[in-house]
Structure 1
């Protein structure tokens, strides 16, 4: 008999949807995805981007789903999650994150029902996460005790669980991933997209293009990239900084770019089907963030064949960049370190090409298909553990 599996997540997320489809297509589980709200499929205001957005990929095809509310904004408690769980009567619950009250309700309800719980989050050790305060700390410990297995997305996430007292035997691996095939272009198509995009943006073939693609908010530290690129251009390096994204910092970043005299091109927010053109047009991707739990744009860039320069506060750095030959990690907020990393890649073409090639090779093991298979393993373990418990009782 096929187990009933419920996945609980805040809203339809473009990175996760292929995983749902893959699991549903296997035919050996009955999957239902419960969403808190309709963000992503209904046009809604995104505070980070500073504008209304709706993703231009189909997010609700190929799997069974339900919405716990009709809200088109984040936040709020969905008490209906309890009745939904009792109605579906799952054999396994996989919940994304532990901070949200709706998720906590689902975990507690599942334990009362005797349903095994899997948990996945992108949390990494930070002073705030490791010392959340008396009440939040007690609540976290209570929730963690109800979880049968934790799905770690990478090294720092695993370290977070271990430092919070989770036994290593309860931590499984499920890589934080994107749909690699969507971003990996064959040689001819990449060359064509590179040429056409640069032509449209007024970027010459000879310029070394640095790509920054993120929400334009303070913690992303896009101003660091502008400063470092301006320094390199002042040294005479023919380069251009391409900034994709929007947000509250956009006006100040534009002013900074203008004052620097550097060649900086702002293209605004770009949807999923558009973003590939900008990866194709670029030579290197930069993510200078602080407080970055992971940074899935790094996955996208690597799947596009780009070397990556990231700060040491990016969660993906230990797994995908540091010591991997796929790019360079520098200390967050170190403008000279960022400039030196970009200088090395701009002046050493063999290094640039080697990093891009290794990026493609490494990221093949971090595809959504790999993640989905690990989900399947975790579900099977949870079902087996529950069956063993039932037999013992």
Structure 2
């Protein structure tokens, strides 16, 4: 169960679908997403035409607030589709639809697995009733999957025992990005190349702090250096005006399908992710797989998991040293990293963690799970 058919999630789903009968139940329909002008999602987020996976759209009503989307089931009976499955994986918790589906799982005795990837610093409600509801939801799960150490700590702080938390590593199709980066016949030693090409990929919204990225680039850029901005959002015009005021070489490409990103990363050197809040930041995985350097703010969820990898430069949360880290990346660039550590964290490796959770959930007595839920949440 998840909101959207995110293109970067599908490699993991496909790995699971090779060995299991997997249905991806979506709370957002293709029609609704296509009509959501503020979603900043391209055609690659639509599931129509994907013949490798089985999708099912649930009937929902959507309420939008800023970046967030909340879903309500318009047909309560649709929640009981869970009876047709051995295990239900919850890819979210905030929407009332997830709570109704959870109740249906308990009534039907269907095993439940949660997926949670937010570190504590990205939580908007650290105490109070919303925080308590979140903790209740995940304490009710038979198992919970987290993609990194930061999310593990957050889940443990909610009161979920370590024995029920399975930690993996958030994965993308690292092979596709790596192969694209080294498919060129050009030899990229580039240690003496005058030009350095920086890259930002993501939504153009306040939380991403793209203004700071542009200002830092203008500060450190040498003759011939470039910054490419990939993405769309409400701040596009403001950012274009800011770039023009600096008279720097900054190009805005708009939205680029996920399938085209490997080619773009193959021609750039340093990715920058400077978000004020970032649950993970899978674009960092993609850049590292491409042999690029990465400058990432320390408060991004991915930072803790990759900070010791080659080519990673961590900027302070307040971005005071963002320009400095970008300059360091440029100075220390000596060509693409041919064997980046990120390659070991593949969709297959991450899918194995999900399989482990599914097996554990199926083997856990349903009656025991229900009693534990009632006892923990009295």
Which TM bucket (shorter chain)? Answer: 0.7 to 0.9
Query: 2: CA distance between counterparts of 1:111 and 1:36?
Result: 20
8 Å contact kept, 1:307–1:326? yes
8 Å contact kept, 1:214–1:245? yes
Query: 2: CA distance between counterparts of 1:328 and 1:382?
Result: 39
| TM-fit CA distance, 1:162 | 0.9
Q: Out of 208, 219, 229, which is 2:217 matched to? A: 229
After superposition, the Cα gap between the structure-2 partners of 1:108 and 1:192, relative to the gap in structure 1 and judged at 3 Å, is farther
Q: Deviations over 1:41-82 (max 9, x none)?
A: 963335253xx7311786632233311128799543125465
8 Å contact kept, 1:12–1:39? no
* Aligned position for 2:144: 150
Q: Counterparts of 1:74-89 in structure 2 under 5 Å?
A: 75-80=70-75, 82-86=77-81, 88-89=83-84
TM-score in terms of structure 2 length: 0.86
* Aligned position for 2:374: none
* Aligned position for 1:329: 314
SS in structure 2 at match of 1:219: helix
Give the count of matched residue pairs: 359
After superposition, the Cα gap between the structure-2 partners of 1:158 and 1:267, relative to the gap in structure 1 and judged at 3 Å, is same
TM-score in terms of structure 1 length: 0.83
* Aligned position for 1:376: 355
| TM-fit CA distance, 1:318 | 0.5
Matched, 1:44 2:35: yes
Structure 2 gap segments, 5+ residues each: 370-378
Query: 2: CA distance between counterparts of 1:81 and 1:175?
Result: 35
8 Å contact kept, 1:57–1:273? no
Query: 1: CA distance between counterparts of 2:6 and 2:61?
Result: 15
After superposition, the Cα gap between the structure-2 partners of 1:368 and 1:152, relative to the gap in structure 1 and judged at 3 Å, is same
Matched, 1:338 2:338: no
After superposition, the Cα gap between the structure-2 partners of 1:326 and 1:41, relative to the gap in structure 1 and judged at 3 Å, is farther
| TM-fit CA distance, 1:179 | 1.3
Query: 1: CA distance between counterparts of 2:118 and 2:314?
Result: 20
Query: 2: CA distance between counterparts of 1:127 and 1:274?
Result: 29
Structure 1 gap segments, 5+ residues each: 1-7, 195-204
Q: Deviations over 1:162-194 (max 9, x none)?
A: 111111111002322111222222565245699
More helix by share: 1
Q: Deviations over 1:181-223 (max 9, x none)?
A: 22222565245699xxxxxxxxxx7410000111111111111
Q: Out of 198, 205, 214, which is 1:217 matched to? A: 205
8 Å contact kept, 1:41–1:54? no
* Aligned position for 2:302: 316
Query: 2: CA distance between counterparts of 1:308 and 1:130?
Result: 30
After superposition, the Cα gap between the structure-2 partners of 1:208 and 1:191, relative to the gap in structure 1 and judged at 3 Å, is farther
| TM-fit CA distance, 1:38 | 1.8
* Aligned position for 1:201: none
